[in-house]
Amino acid sequence: MKQHACIKIAVLFLLPLFVSCAINPVTGRHELMLVSEAQELNLGKEEAPSLTWEFGGHYKDSALEPYLESIVRKIWQNSERPQLPMKFYVQNTSLPNAFALPGYVAITRGLLSSLENEAQFAAVMGHEVGHVMARHTAQRLSRMTLQQLGLAIGSATLQGIGGGDALLQVGALGSSLLLLKYDRSQEIQSDRLGVKYMADLGYNPYEAMSAHDVLQKAVDDYLKRMGKSRSEDSAISQLFSTHPRHEVRLNEIQSMINELPPYRMQNDGIFRKQFQDATERIRRINKIYYIYDEAEMHYQKKDFRTAEEKVKKAISLDDSQPSFHNLLGMTKLQLKNYTEAENAFRSALSIDSGYQPAHYGLGLARYFQENYREAVAEFKKSLALYPDHVQTHFGLGQSYFQMRQYAEAIPYLRNFAQAAPKHPDIHGLLGICYEKVGEVRPAIVEYENQLKVSPDSEMGRHARKRLAVLAPMIK
């Protein structure tokens, strides 16, 4: 698995030799910038697969997407860096959010379904485009580089998850969200840019305030359905951790509007009806996803029968969503109904042949049936779509291990170990692989790591025995 893009850039620029200044395209001022525009774009390209699957994959609607993209593209072309490439996506998650990286702009199904008109959508997208145009991601990476920070991807999330449980976790694990965590001054600057873009394009800039009201309500409704508070939900707490308090933010936006030069609205400046008509289907389907979200919560609580019942209800209401079939497949795996699981995953892929979670699910089904060669084939399809999916790396490593292809297993297991260094078996598995290919020193290191993590497990006892044999060999 490739190293996280942030770490690559950070390592590249650790030496003072590379310290340089650049003119910010928004402010026109010189500022310390260790990331070039080309590297920004490369970062967006590298992070796109992770962000895609961390937010549920793309929600596909051939009628809706061109309409929304045309609005985003107008904002982009009216911005400070219109020459940059741009792709727009709707992300298939109920979590109300929107984000952007260089070349990549997205809004989630949950937030889009809550917005009331085109002007509010333009406000949200203008804010996110502002982050890109003001080079906020590049600023964040430059600061991280100067502080010599690294990112430990997914380690906290996966620590302590056992072999089978780790393979069966629903949802992506990654840290691309850290790239989207901006400080308060950056949030205010993006608000200001978003308001400016709206007014320039003929939208009512006061709808930026309404959009924030909608976001707050959408978040509260989402958390209520999830049975959580803002402090309990990590994604929500990250989203709002550096945002100004809601009332303060509204006052600041009002001030920004007051400072705008004269502007002229197109028609009513809101465009409610055409937006409502275009989003009617996704709003209807979004309500069905409430049932899916319940099913996923029951799955996480290991109440697989209830999860199965709930997701079947969602499928009965709309069978066109690959995520519904995929979750059914995961519940069937947990209930050891492997044939039914495979059928569910294939249903998902018949709707979307590029649906990464279903390829991963098929890999699991083959793995648990001890058909390791076909498991490898499916896991590789999963990895091609989502190169940073650590569970797929673990599945590949485990499959090669079971096939006694230890050299092939090592890189995948090593990648998983980097993401989950406290997994109870991973270091022992790596120790066995290294020993089998004749690499004694790495085997000793991994067996020693196993004893640090889980000394009293079966794998820990194996590691202790092997250390007693191998350690004298290198003295």
The series of mean pLDDT values per 10 residues for the chain, 475 residues long, is 46 43 65 74 84 92 96 95 93 95 93 98 97 81 55 42 56 48 86 96 97 94 88 63 75 94 96 98 98 97 98 98 98 97 98 98 98 98 95 98 98 96 97 97 97 96 96 84
Residue 239 confidence (pLDDT): 59
Output the six-digit token pair for 323.
């995520």
What are φ and ψ of residue 51, in 5° steps?
Answer: -60, -40
Asked if residue 130 is part of any domain, the answer here is yes
Asked if residue 147 is part of any domain, the answer here is yes
Residue 271 confidence (pLDDT): 98
Asked if residue 292 is part of any domain, the answer here is no
Distance of CA 415 to the CA centre of its chain: 18
Amino acid at 259: E
Question: How many distinct structural domains can be found in the chain?
Answer: 1
Asked if residue 384 is part of any domain, the answer here is no
Cα–Cα distance measured from residue 9 to residue 31, given in angstroms and rounded to the nearest whole number: 18
Residue 131 confidence (pLDDT): 92
Residue 153 confidence (pLDDT): 37
Asked if residue 332 is part of any domain, the answer here is no
Cα–Cα distance measured from residue 61 to residue 337, given in angstroms and rounded to the nearest whole number: 32
Asked if residue 289 is part of any domain, the answer here is no
Cα–Cα distance measured from residue 134 to residue 283, given in angstroms and rounded to the nearest whole number: 32
Closest listed residue to residue 61, CA positions, set 42, 89, 83? 89
Cα–Cα distance measured from residue 405 to residue 195, given in angstroms and rounded to the nearest whole number: 58
Cα–Cα distance measured from residue 455 to residue 466, given in angstroms and rounded to the nearest whole number: 13
Cα–Cα distance measured from residue 289 to residue 277, given in angstroms and rounded to the nearest whole number: 20
First to last CA, the chain: 33
Asked if residue 241 is part of any domain, the answer here is yes
Considering only CA atoms, give the Rg of the chain: 24
Residue 134 confidence (pLDDT): 86
Asked if residue 443 is part of any domain, the answer here is no
Beta bridge partners of 21: 32
Query: Judging by DSSP bridges, how do beta strands 21-23 and 87-91 pair with one another?
Result: unpaired
**Structural domain containing residue 22:** 5-152+176-278
